[in-house]
Amino acid sequence: MPELAELKTTADYINYHSKPSKGPATHYCNIIKNPVHKCMDVDITKGLFSMSAESRGKELIVYIHESGKTTPIRFTMGMSGYFKVTNTGHEPKHAHLKFYRKDGTTLSFVDVRRFGKWKVGESWSSNRGPDPTTEVEKFKNNIWDNIDKRAFDKDIHLMLMNQQYFNGIGNYLRAEILYRLPHVNPFMNAREVIQNHPEILDLCTEIPMKAYVLAGGSVTSKEDPFKNYKEKSENLIKCYHNPRMSWCMDKNKRRFWFDPLWYDVYLEKYGA
DNA sequence: CGTCCACGTCTAC
DNA sequence: TAGACCTGGACGG
């Protein structure tokens, strides 16, 4: 699941299940890493602690609060990462970081493929841009201030994957964003597209926000926010993985889904 | 059984 | 700009 909307929902999920009102604020008691995982052990707590979370683009920070001190753990979710609360002892297969709680439940970071990473004591990465949904002005300014840089020489469909400027946009969001702009050639130079069609930047806020609302919005129930996610997102995901759409392998070997309207343009530029 | 494919980075020729 | 990093689901023989 994990692009901007899913990271945002994951932060909500962690916060919901870590609310002080659900029990004593010092709800958590231990953090254990699965030895198979290459990331560092998290030996930062002595006694009881509480937790909160925040996302920015495709990063998530879990804050550990213990006796007035806060320590961040910065996560990326890779291709398959998510968090899940279960009864202790019934954690999902591939739970790699477990946050044990006094009430007999555990919050686990689960990730089949182990592309997800965490690092203790880190704030947001400096090489990733502002979040298009929570830092809208900074997101836009970061683009307008750097529009003359070489990075913007790339085609717009590649540029949207550049996390230095489009933090949180991934393979399905770029497809959906460009699909909403039928007058924009996805194989055209990014600088030109952005200057002539600045509404593309608004879509970088709107489409992830819609996906976020569909995924459950701010999590307000115990329910798994990704339950029925596939059906819920059917109204939003109109292009990505749709057999009626065109696709090509992009320069970075990711499958790019696009409006068949542009297929001839694609062929002309990149051949068969 | 085997091959291909997956919502993402990383680092090493 | 290849590969490396990983598991598992879908699908073919």
- Cα distance between residue A131 and residue A137, in whole Å: 10
Task: Dump pLDDT digits (tens) for A43-84.
Answer: 999 999 999 999 999 999 999 999 999 999 999 999 999 999
Give a yes or no: residue A263 inside a domain: yes
pLDDT for the residue A1: 61
User: For residues A165 and A159, is the Cβ–Cβ distance under 8 A?
Assistant: yes
Strand B surroundings (CB within 7 A): A 1-3, 6, 58, 76, 78-79, 113, 115, 117, 161, 163, 170-172, 252, 254-255
Percent of chain A surpassing pLDDT 90: 87
pLDDT, greater one: A42 or A1: A42
Task: Dump pLDDT digits (tens) for A197-235.
Answer: 999 999 999 999 999 998 755 444 445 666 666 566 677
Task: Dump pLDDT digits (tens) for A80-99.
Answer: 999 999 999 999 999 999 99
Q: Which of A53, A87, A120 is the last residue of a domain?
A: A120
Give a yes or no: residue A18 inside a domain: yes
Q: Per the structure, how many domains does chain A have? A: 2
Backbone dihedral angles phi then psi of residue A21, each to the nearest 5 degrees: -65, -15
Residues A206 and A244 in one domain: yes
Judged against a pLDDT cut of 60, whether residue A101 lies above it is answered with: yes
User: Which domain covers residue A213, as residue numbers?
Assistant: 136-270
pLDDT for the residue A221: 43
Handedness of CA A2, A123, A83, A213 (dihedral sign): negative
Closest nt to A80 (CA→C1')?
B7
- Give me the torsion for CA of A235, A131, A109, A254, rounded to 10°: 60
